[in-house]
A and B are shown apart, each in its own frame.
Chain A
Amino acid sequence: MRTSLPIAVAFISGLVLVVAFFFRDDSLIGSLRQEFIVWLTIIGGFTLLLGVVSIVRVSWTAVKRRKEGWFYKILTLLGVFAMAIPAVLPVSWSPLFGRSDGTIYDWLFNYMQSPMMSTMFATLAFYIASAAHRAFRARSAEATILLITACAIMLWRIPMGEAMLNMIPGDLPSWLNTYVMGGANMAVQRGIIIGAALGAASMSLRIILGIERMYMGKG
């Protein structure tokens, strides 16, 4: 029962969503599909809640047992509660609650979370520059092609570099856009996208047919 019920649910849900693709939205199966989709968003909401419960439990246990870095776990817990509680409390209690303009959540998001995330991402520029200097070497023909192409694209994407490329006869910026980005790059990206889509389709089919059971924690 513990195995067959989830497989039956996955089979019926998957089958309805696949078959409904071939029917009109206002048909019975079209309506059923819409109902399943609404259920999916509701069930998904609970998985988000599960994530919050999980991070609180893990962090609280670490604090209680004074594990390494427990102080940072306190900050995590503070962050979770400081953002979540004012956001979910009813606006009728205070205009500071909720998620709209001028609320506690909005203030914390705009002046703490957002700048901190941007700062973390911005530090990548420093690491990329350092890594490019230390590791980007023309050790082989393939590496040399990659290196030259990368430098040319980086030049093309900036006004100063584009002006430099324009000094070379043959409209190099336009050539790079057409043949490198819209040609070689596009062909490779398309191959990756098609490969990933085929993989996703075959995995979905395996789940619907009950062959793939990893989502139940079983091989």
Chain B
Amino acid sequence: MSFWERMEKLDRRWVYLAVGIAVIIPFILPTPLPISITTEAQSLFDAVEALPDGSNVMLVYDYYPSTIAECEPIAIAACHHLFRKNCKIITLSNIPYGGPSMAEKITRMMADQYGKTYGVDYVNLGYKYGYVAVLSGMGQSIESIFPADNSGTLLSELPLMDSVKNYEDIAFIFEIADNATADYWVSIVNAQYGVPIGCGGTAVMAPKFYAYISSGQFVGLLGGMRGAAEYEILINKQADAVKGMQAQSLVHLLIIGLVIFGNVGFFVTRSKQKRGAA
């Protein structure tokens, strides 16, 4: 069996081992790599930057715990940027599976860093079933959909919510999603109420969201860990996403290498078989 034939029939356990090594190496030997900024990330940054200080912003944690590696750095970077601009943050989630907990954990952690007070500078509305109904209903009254926050405190007892009744009081929506809820933010909230939306999503979802970029329904887009890394660079707070890009770089190169080796092996084997048949 030739080298190329062996490469084509490479045992998958070697592939697993190679991926494992490619992920671990950058954490042992970190090599900072220059990351350029895409126009989509720059537009999102500019849109947030252009908000007047103290604006009310909705930060939506529409992702499952499984995609924390990609979405959490986006959420942390968004909190840095928004709290730095003294924006008032209203968080919520359309994901029953841990969404409100992630919103609680990240926003509280970032709020502590910036000395922000719960109820005054930020509020976690939590989760409510039925995202289409929730998004539609908040257009008329947030309080009718979320009478209480995530921990059960009535909205009427939270000073921030005195000035936030519906989407008219929201200057910007920062949606972080790993699923199709982002589509409903576009079709219900942006299209019907005209609130500008910026989106951070997983790399798998990003290609779909390009349709909303060119139509202007998303002001900007952060695609996966790369998008998070770009935003970290833009806000000058390089953290997990920038570090993670090193591992992602090696794994992408490894996969491309494996595809090339597999294809060369495939063609070599096929030409041998053809010659044998002739």
Residues of A within 8 A of B (CB): 25, 30, 33-34, 37-38, 40-41, 44-45, 47-48, 91, 98-101, 105-106, 109-110, 113-114, 117-118, 120-122, 125-126, 128-130, 132-134, 136-138, 147, 151, 154-155, 157-163, 173, 177, 181-182, 185-186, 189-190, 192-193, 197
Contacts and interface: CB of A to CB of B under 8 A. Distances in A.
Contact of A40 (B34, B108, B133, B223): B133
Nearest to A154: B252
Contacts of B129: 41, 44-45, 47-48
B86 interface: no
A81 B81 CA distance: 38
A189 B100 CA distance: 30
B255 interface: yes
22 contacts: A38-B144, A38-B145, A41-B128, A44-B129, A48-B96, A100-B150, A109-B98, A113-B98, A117-B65, A125-B19, A126-B19, A132-B255, A132-B259, A133-B12, A147-B263, A151-B256, A158-B248, A173-B36, A185-B207, A189-B207, A189-B211, A193-B211
Contact of B208 (A98, A138, A173, A189): A189
Interface of B: 10, 12, 15-16, 18-20, 23, 33-36, 38-39, 64-69, 96, 98, 100-102, 104-105, 108, 128-130, 133-134, 136-137, 139-141, 144-145, 150-152, 183, 187, 203, 207-208, 210-211, 213-214, 223-224, 226, 245, 248-256, 258-259, 261-263, 266
A106 B251 CA distance: 33
A138 B136 CA distance: 47
A128 B12 contact: no
Contacts of A47: 129
Specify which of A47, A113, A189 lies most central, judged by the most chain B CB atoms within 10 Å of its CB: A189
Nearest to A151: B256
A20 B34 CA distance: 52
A121 B245 contact: no
Interface of A is mostly: helix
Specify which of B15, B33, B105 lies most central, judged by the most chain A CB atoms within 10 Å of its CB: B15
Given A114-B98, A120-B66, A130-B16, A37 B136 contact: yes
Given A40-B130, A45-B129, 16 more contacts: A34-B137, A37-B136, A41-B133, A41-B134, A98-B152, A99-B151, A100-B150, A101-B104, A125-B19, A126-B16, A128-B255, A129-B15, A129-B16, A136-B259, A137-B262, A193-B183
A118 B65 contact: yes
A122 B69 contact: yes
B262 A41 contact: no
B203 A190 contact: no
Given A34-B144, A126-B19, A134 B262 contact: yes
Given A41-B128, A41-B130, A126-B16, A161 B249 contact: yes
Contacts of B65: 109, 113-114, 117-118
